[in-house]
Structure 1
Amino acid sequence: MTPLNRLRRYTWWSVVAGGLLVAAGATGDLVGGGYGPAKSVLVAVAVAVVVVQHIRYLHQAMGGLGRGENRPWEHAATFAVALAAWAVMSRTDGFLPVWALLPALVIAHVGAILPARRRWPAVAAMSVLVIATGGVVGGDEAWPSMTMAAVMIAGLVLADLAQLWIWQLVVQQDAGRRTAEALAVAEERLRFAADLHDIQGHHLQAIALKGELAQRLIGRDDEQARQHAGEVAELARTALRETREVVQGYRRASLGTEITNAVGVLRAAGIETTVRGDAAGVPPPLQPLFGALVREGTTNVLRHSRARRCDVSIDVVDGQVCVRLRNDGVRIDDDGSGGSGAGLAGLRERFATVGGRVEVGPAEPEGFELVGRAGVGR
């Protein structure tokens, strides 16, 4: 389970706990209060209606404050039921504070699903009605009832809204991290596209012009047409060669360059990244190989985990190199295949050609690890 899912579960049970505790307290009071069958049944139904509605609308509010279904008549009916139960129990000797929480539950979930501009006026109006009802029907205990109602409403409403607000901030931050990841990948693609355009643009334009010229000269000056056709072929070979050089340069960047790029991309995505070891100590023949490992590992962290931290370590002993990428996220698509994706399969093949190996798997206590080992002359 990812940290975000754990926080969602914690937030959900925290806000629902209020309704469940009210239901438990009310049930205990009804069972031991001796209120009579008819009254107990009616009040129990009121408790069930309010708690169910509370849980239902808080579940909607988990999608964001102010995003639930706004059904004024349904909210008004639920609030009327809670207010009636509060009024009836306020007349009872031995009145318990739990009954003040019943209308507070309705105020909490209505406040959670209303837009911000309507939230606090609605909360204030409903709170005044509850407090006033306690004062009217409370008799000798009017002031304690009113005070208790005000405290219960303020505590429950603020607690629920604060929990949901914190959850909303976390969701927005996660969405921002995803956007940063996408922008980092898009920026790298644009850089590569710009390199290709700058290098090949003039070649392709020259090929097009000379091709058109050769086409016009056919039948008029065949010798010139053949000369231009030869130049077209040479330009095409040059363009192909430079294209390969660009792609190979992109794929065969040094390990140090790849690590620098990886750190920049990961940090832009909100992932704290540390590097241990010296990339310059890796033998030159192995630099492109381990550069590809770092590039593939960075891609996996961005696409397949919810990491908050990534550690890159480089160990070189007697020409034998070990590069390790470890993150604290869990692969959301890990099906136990041990990393059989196309990228990792290609890495294994490349490492195998030099007698090296690639290891992938979970890292303790929770996370994922990609390790490459190879050496000169292995």
Structure 2
Amino acid sequence: MTEATIALEGRRIHRLRRYTLWTLVTTSVFVLMPVLPATGGLALPVLVPLSAAAVVSGVQRVRLVHQAVRDTGHPGGPRAEHVVTVAVALLAWGAGVALDPAPVTWAFLPALVGGAVVLNLPSRWRVRAALLVSVLVALVCFAATPLRDAAGGPWFPWLVAALALGITAFLTLVDVAQLWFWDAVVEVDRARAANEELAVARERLRFASDLHDIQGHHLQAIMLKGELTERLIGHDDEAARAHATELTELARTALRDTRRVVRGYRTTSLDTEITNAVELLGAAGIEMEVRGTLGAVPPPLQDLFGALVREGTTNILRHSQARRCELALDTEGPVARVRLANDGTSAHPDPAGSGIAGLRERFATLGGEVSARPSGEGWFELCGTARKPGGGDA
């Protein structure tokens, strides 16, 4: 993903955040609109505190909504601020129900504040908390209405309670749904960011594995050629010059392959790797026997098995005391198999090293596997298997 795309996604998330926030905040204005006119028929000693409580409830809703949107994914539990806000709304609501001839109007206040407080709870509690707030508001409305006016008939308290329940449930559940959508968008955005980080990490591992294969193999070959050149100086200067020329060419090849890895263009030829292995092992005094038909290995697996031959050759040169080595290519059936064995098992390293681990990861991506273990009678084998493309015979 390019930087421009990332910036675009960031702007979209920011716009959606503002939309969610302003949608929830705007609800406060619409909720307060029917409440404030309802105070017009009240006496001044009652009007002032009730109006102040309504305004405070609206301001606190804005604060709590902003807090819920800001802390999405990391909500806290009830706080002192939440408790005080709910208490103020309940007091104003109770007074309104007892004194106002239109008591249902005051159900907007606990709905307003209750919805904002519910948003600051963990998501798994929000719906249940919203329903609980709605039921409590309805029950108190039902209980308070007969105390205020018994002339409304037997069904009047039920009507007030039902309206209060509907108003509170609607407002709080709309708030919960709005924030749920925002939470879902945030989770998707976080998952996208995590996938981007994972892709970067995988690419770094791939690059590190390729670099390990190249540098380890070439440096081992350069060291071997350097030692041979050093031994031949003064005894066979012509051969020493030839090895020095090969040494220079190996260094150039290492540099070229490293640049290709950096650019992502490097490919491995199984034929080239086997030729290099025979030459390097022969120069180290290790006899190598190759069995099987190279051309039978499917082209998509050439790079994979080439990496195995290169890693195995490097490990033999670096760690074993081998005198003989066998490379077997088996392409019969739906599975291709390459086995590299040597008789220097006593000095072989732990097969769980980074090179073998990298091979296992590469083979696993194609449904294959790599094993590295003693095979008996002082031999050690590195074996890789992979299913042929299409699963058919070669």
TM-score range relative to shorter protein: 0.5 to 0.7
Structure 1 residue aligned with 2:21: 12
Distance change in 2, residues 1:90/1:200 (3 Å): same
Q: Which runs of 5+ in 2 are unaligned?
A: 1-7, 151-155, 267-394
Structure 2 residue aligned with 1:57: 64
Structure 2 residue aligned with 1:109: 116
Q: Superposed, which structure 2 residues align to 1:54-203 within 5 Å?
A: 54-63=61-70, 65=72, 67-95=74-102, 97-120=104-127, 122-139=129-146, 140=150, 141-203=156-218
Which range is displaced more, 79-88 or 64-73?
Answer: 64-73
Distance 1:99 1:200 in 2: 77
> How far does the alpha carbon of each residue in 1:41-64 deviate from its partner, in whole angstroms, 9 at most, with x for none?
101121122222211111121135
Q: Which amino acid aligns with 1:168?
A: D
Q: Would you say the 8 A contact 2:232–2:240 is kept in 1?
A: yes
TM-score, L = length of structure 2: 0.54
Q: Would you say the 8 A contact 2:38–2:100 is kept in 1?
A: no
* Helix, strand or coil at the partner of 1:210: helix
Match of 2:32 among 19, 23, 39: 23
Distance 2:89 2:264 in 1: 71
* Helix, strand or coil at the partner of 2:70: coil
Structure 1 residue aligned with 2:220: 205
Structure 1 residue aligned with 2:45: 38
Distance 1:67 1:189 in 2: 31
Distance change in 2, residues 1:218/1:20 (3 Å): farther
Distance 2:257 2:159 in 1: 86
> How far does the alpha carbon of each residue in 1:74-121 deviate from its partner, in whole angstroms, 9 at most, with x for none?
323222221221121112353154311111122212221112454455
Q: Would you say the 8 A contact 2:226–2:244 is kept in 1?
A: yes
Q: C-alpha displacement at 1:236, in angstroms?
A: 0.7
Distance 1:161 1:220 in 2: 87
Q: Which amino acid aligns with 1:107?
A: G
> How far does the alpha carbon of each residue in 1:336-363 deviate from its partner, in whole angstroms, 9 at most, with x for none?
xxxxxxxxxxxxxxxxxxxxxxxxxxxx
* Helix, strand or coil at the partner of 1:114: coil
Distance 2:96 2:261 in 1: 80
Q: Would you say the 8 A contact 2:145–2:157 is kept in 1?
A: yes
Distance 1:24 1:160 in 2: 18
Q: C-alpha displacement at 1:174, in angstroms?
A: 2.0
Q: Would you say the 8 A contact 1:134–1:149 is kept in 2?
A: yes
Q: Would you say the 8 A contact 2:126–2:176 is kept in 1?
A: no
Q: Would you say the 8 A contact 1:107–1:123 is kept in 2?
A: yes
Number of residue-to-residue matches in the alignment: 248
Distance change in 2, residues 1:160/1:245 (3 Å): closer
Distance change in 2, residues 1:69/1:184 (3 Å): closer
Distance change in 2, residues 1:104/1:238 (3 Å): same
Distance 1:147 1:205 in 2: 84
Q: C-alpha displacement at 1:185, in angstroms?
A: 4.5
Distance change in 2, residues 1:134/1:190 (3 Å): same
Distance 2:127 2:174 in 1: 15
Q: C-alpha displacement at 1:39, in angstroms?
A: 0.8
Q: Would you say the 8 A contact 1:65–1:112 is kept in 2?
A: no
Structure 2 residue aligned with 1:250: 265
Q: Which amino acid aligns with 1:180?
A: N
Q: C-alpha displacement at 1:179, in angstroms?
A: 3.0
Q: C-alpha displacement at 1:7, in angstroms?
A: 1.9
Distance change in 2, residues 1:69/1:181 (3 Å): closer
Distance 1:149 1:200 in 2: 75
Q: Which amino acid aligns with 1:9?
A: R
Q: C-alpha displacement at 1:212, in angstroms?
A: 5.0
* Helix, strand or coil at the partner of 1:250: coil
Distance 1:187 1:231 in 2: 35
> How far does the alpha carbon of each residue in 1:282-320 deviate from its partner, in whole angstroms, 9 at most, with x for none?
xxxxxxxxxxxxxxxxxxxxxxxxxxxxxxxxxxxxxxx
Q: C-alpha displacement at 1:204, in angstroms?
A: 1.8
Distance 1:246 1:110 in 2: 56
TM-score, L = length of structure 1: 0.56
Distance change in 2, residues 1:167/1:233 (3 Å): same
Which range is displaced more, 107-116 or 191-200?
Answer: 191-200
Structure 1 residue aligned with 2:253: 238
Q: C-alpha displacement at 1:162, in angstroms?
A: 0.3
Q: Would you say the 8 A contact 1:50–1:105 is kept in 2?
A: yes
Q: Would you say the 8 A contact 1:66–1:114 is kept in 2?
A: no
Q: Which amino acid aligns with 2:223?
A: A
Distance 2:182 2:261 in 1: 46
> How far does the alpha carbon of each residue in 1:104-147 deviate from its partner, in whole angstroms, 9 at most, with x for none?
12221222111245445544444343222212221244222211
Distance 2:73 2:253 in 1: 61
